[in-house]
Chains A and B, each alone.
Chain A
């Protein structure tokens, strides 16, 4: 109250001064007219009138401006912080004038009140947000993750933490790629999509099916569908939201694979032994067998070898079905691979009396292939060509490898067999498909071509067949030169491109582990 009293007394003294000044002007005017100018009564009256007009117009105007200064300063301070007004500057409180202390005191109170209101609003907003988060965190049964613009996890709900077998503390604040080690069924991985979204979109969504989560370095995997939502202008930096949809049938696929893996193990042991015994007998009986027995021995050996190949085919088909076949495309010499495959089937060709030859163009560029996978394609095509060539003189299988017009390495396997009717060509690369006629004559399961197509597709090449009944068949496929794969590789990890049979791509291709 001191400030107010001081203001009142300052106000009183200023008004007193003004009134005194007013009287002094009139009195002074009268004195000058009466004693110095010695004017008559009319002159005196006119002069007094003039001086009182001046006194009652100018003095109130000046004194009003001066006396209302505190009101103006406080008014300015209020407008300065009021939410609806703009461009009102803060009052200049350095200027000393009437009621200076009172003004400073009141203005500071105004500012204090405003800051209280502001903090109350903010607290309410935070409380609301936490309430929403808490509700989602506890009740949403779907695993959910929210990322900021740096792709760090701002929020993961309880279902997500349970799914990842991590605590919230081990999840929040971490980079998404250090928490989720994902593999995608298409070229568009999460990081590629996000990169694109942050550059080109304000709001966008995307879903993936059968995304694979690798847990503990891939010793365990889980699969689900993934939905992503991106919104650049979300408040609080909540830029991306990811929701996982668990799929029980995906788990069944994994179990089917482990069944096949077990069956493969059980089959391989007797085959190892059979092949070992055949070899041992062959060594010990060399030169002692008659021609027919030697042929039988040879056939036995070749059949055991193709059984090994078949088991590998079976396993790979199971892997394809459960999206677990991973190919690593690396730089390799095509001539080496083709020659190895030709040598490995030459025994079988010899047994059935097929003449097997290879023409490989010189100076082929290096290829970008998964050696194991593409070798299987070659062996499958060669095996088929040998099988379906039939028996008798003049049966030939020719392998050719050239660089085609598109700059791809094209390999063809041509046989002199019975050919395939046109009506059957369309289904040839389907699983378990075998032409009716071939069923009685030769062994096989109809997995080879399906597998070959899947592997060639995953390499970025294509596979085809040309055939005419009675004129033999030619199977061909292409693979990419390494230079083209290397382009892809430049954007990928350093250990070669990892691709699944359906083109599975690792999520964190941009992030080294």
Chain B
């Protein structure tokens, strides 16, 4: 797994309402040289994402105000301005196959948080172009 670009130039937005989890992710990401912004609220996360200054968006599906699915849909809608950011869904929610397939189609990756450690997450992000 080779980094495709220097992580220190990469901006990550973490939309996650579980404080302990975002804390662990921020720790691992900043250690690896990423610059991280955390947002707990779906609506505010969407506004931040629209500024298009992020390279990667980690998006939890169960967040307050509007859900991660709604954020994803808004960002990927045909009317929305295309973003440079890759969207990685990070969730512990279990979906029906069909819904999951639908989300995977719109996002760049889909990860189950319980199945990866923060370090594995960072390694995975290195591989995302």
Chain A residues packing against B (C-beta within 8 Å): 214, 217-219, 221, 261, 264-265, 267-269, 271-273, 275-277, 279-280, 283, 308, 311-312, 315, 324, 326
Contact = CB atoms under 8 A, between A and B. Distances in A.
A277 B118 CA distance: 9
Contacts of A272: 21, 92, 113-114
Contacts of A217: 98, 102
Interface of B: 18, 20-21, 24, 27, 62, 92-94, 96-99, 102, 112-115, 117-119
B31 to A, nearest CB: 9
Nearest to A214: B98
Contacts of A271: 114
Nearest to B92: A268
B90 to A, nearest CB: 9
A273 B22 CA distance: 10
Contact of B114 (A214, A261, A308): A308
Given A218-B96, A265-B92, A268-B113, A280 B118 contact: yes
Contacts of B117: 275-276, 279
B94 A273 contact: no
Given A271-B114, A276-B117, A308-B114, A265 B97 contact: no
Tell me what chain B mostly uses at the interface: helix, strand, loop, or mixed. Answer: helix
Given A268-B113, A273-B21, A276-B24, A326 B97 contact: yes
Given A268-B113, A308-B115, A276 B94 contact: no
Most interface-central of B62, B94, B102, B115 (chain A CB within 10 A): B94
Contacts of A311: 114
Nearest to B99: A219
Contacts of B92: 264-265, 268-269, 272
Contacts, number: 60
Contacts of A326: 97
Given A279-B118, A324-B96, A268 B21 contact: no
A311 B92 CA distance: 11
A276 B21 contact: yes
Contact of A277 (B24, B93, B98): B24
Given A269-B92, A272-B92, A279-B119, 4 more contacts: A217-B98, A269-B113, A280-B27, A308-B114
B98 A315 contact: no
Contact of A275 (B62, B96, B114): B114
A273 B93 contact: no
A233 B92 CA distance: 55
Contacts of A283: 119
Nearest to B117: A279
Contacts of A214: 98
A378 to B, nearest CB: 16
B96 A219 contact: yes
A95 to B, nearest CB: 76
Contacts of A315: 94
Contact of B97 (A268, A273, A324): A324
A263 B118 CA distance: 23
Contacts of B112: 268
A121 to B, nearest CB: 52
A376 to B, nearest CB: 12
B67 to A, nearest CB: 14
Contacts of B94: 261, 264-265, 315
22 contacts: A214-B98, A217-B98, A218-B96, A218-B97, A218-B98, A218-B99, A261-B93, A264-B94, A268-B113, A268-B114, A269-B113, A271-B114, A272-B21, A273-B24, A276-B24, A277-B24, A279-B118, A279-B119, A283-B119, A308-B115, A312-B115, A315-B94
Nearest to A261: B94
Contacts of B21: 269, 272-273, 276
